[in-house]
Amino acid sequence: MKKALVCGAGGFIGSHLVKRLKKEGYFVRGVDLKYPEFSKSEADEFIKGDLRNLSIVDVCVDGVDEVYQLAADMGGADYIFTGEHDSDVMHNSAMINLNIVDSMKRHGVKKVFYSSSACMYPEDHQLEVDVPALREDMAYPGNPDSEYGWEKLFSERLYLTYSKNHDFDVRIARFHNIFGPEGTYQGGREKAPAALCRKVIKSDGEIKVYGDGQQTRSFLYIDECIEGIRRLMESDCVEPLNLGSDEVISINDFAQMIIDISKKEVVIKNIDVPQLGVRGRNSDNTLIKEKLGWSPVQPLKVGIEKTYKWIKNQLV
């Protein structure tokens, strides 16, 4: 029986990954500052601990075969783009990753998955709503639009240097806006799909959408994210891959899709905010198809219908 460590097992993606690994017969050790918010963890062991503490990391890494590193200080636009949390985002996430590679080296654990983000791509390629989809080779020269993106870029290079110098078996996926049931939907750290669902559900006839609503994104449903992680880990691909949908949509059209699902009479009101993130972002899936013989195919509407229903059940 393989033993896996899932860092960030109390979070949205991490808790879903624990379930998948258990179904595949793994012994799973989870670690996080908190337990999953919406369901009991299925991990065989769950360590409630701070991965910024190297002694905690040593306990977690000892005896496992694979590490899945999803732990980070992060959140939605209200958390990442205000600038108020930049030092925490940089320090906390970097400290976690430095501790993990240090501990893996000393315990002789070689195989690791690192969850990077599309936020690491240069802002220069994302200034218009109809920008070309982001290819993996567009990553350099680096110029992310947030400190969160800079930390992701640094940590990608951290793991790749340990692959080069210490024979780590590294897999890296650049996530593009993962969403689905059991994700945070209120409190300031929620992402756009959950935030828009909550706004529509609670609306009395109007919802506020940041910016002019013409900014574009793609969104990936959680099940396909987990499938991609597992396929990548079982592959021999050692270069970072996009893990996202290539179905691009404007934020206003996305909000209208959710309104249509709700069957409510709701008007969109666009509002100015100081920081919106990039103007356009989409995933180019050419390389993942080449390397894994697979890419996400589920239509956005299918996933958002499931997510809307789940959030509505939480709020009633």
Classified as helix, coil or strand, 51 is coil
Task: Provide the edge-to-edge strand list for the sheet that holds 169-175.
Answer: 45-48, 27-32, 3-7, 66-69, 111-117, 169-175, 241-243
Side chain identity at 81, as an amino acid letter?
F
What's the rounded Cα separation, in Å, for the pair 4 and 64?
Answer: 6
**Cβ distance 208 to 93 under 8 Å?**
no
State both tokens at 47: 């360590």
Nearest Cα residue to 175 out of 2, 16, 5: 16
**Cβ distance 270 to 252 under 8 Å?**
yes
264 φ/ψ sector (left φ>0, alpha ψ -120 to 50, else beta): beta
pLDDT digits (tens), the chain, 316 positions: 999 999 999 999 999 999 999 999 999 999 999 999 999 999 999 999 999 999 999 999 999 999 999 999 876 565 555 667 789 889 999 999 999 999 999 999 999 999 999 999 999 999 899 888 999 999 999 999 889 999 999 999 999 999 999 999 999 999 999 999 999 999 877 889 999 999 999 999 999 999 999 999 999 999 999 999 999 999 999 999 999 999 999 999 999 999 999 999 999 999 998 766 789 999 999 999 999 999 999 999 999 999 999 999 999 8
pLDDT at 85: 73
Classified as helix, coil or strand, 10 is coil
Q: Contacts by 141-144 with C-beta closer than 8 Å and gap 24+?
A: 144/119, 144/120
What's the rounded Cα separation, in Å, for the pair 29 and 49?
Answer: 12
pLDDT at 168: 98
Q: Contacts by 53-59 with C-beta closer than 8 Å and gap 24+?
A: 53/99, 54/99, 54/102, 54/103, 56/31, 57/99, 57/100, 57/102, 57/103, 58/103, 58/106, 58/107
**Cβ distance 146 to 75 under 8 Å?**
no
pLDDT at 166: 98
Question: Which element (helix H / strand E) includes 28?
Answer: strand 27-32
Neighbouring-strand partners of residue 113: 68, 171
Sign of torsion, CA 16 20 21 25? positive
81 φ/ψ sector (left φ>0, alpha ψ -120 to 50, else beta): alpha
Nearest Cα residue to 223 out of 190, 281, 181: 181
Q: Which residues are catalytic?
A: 148
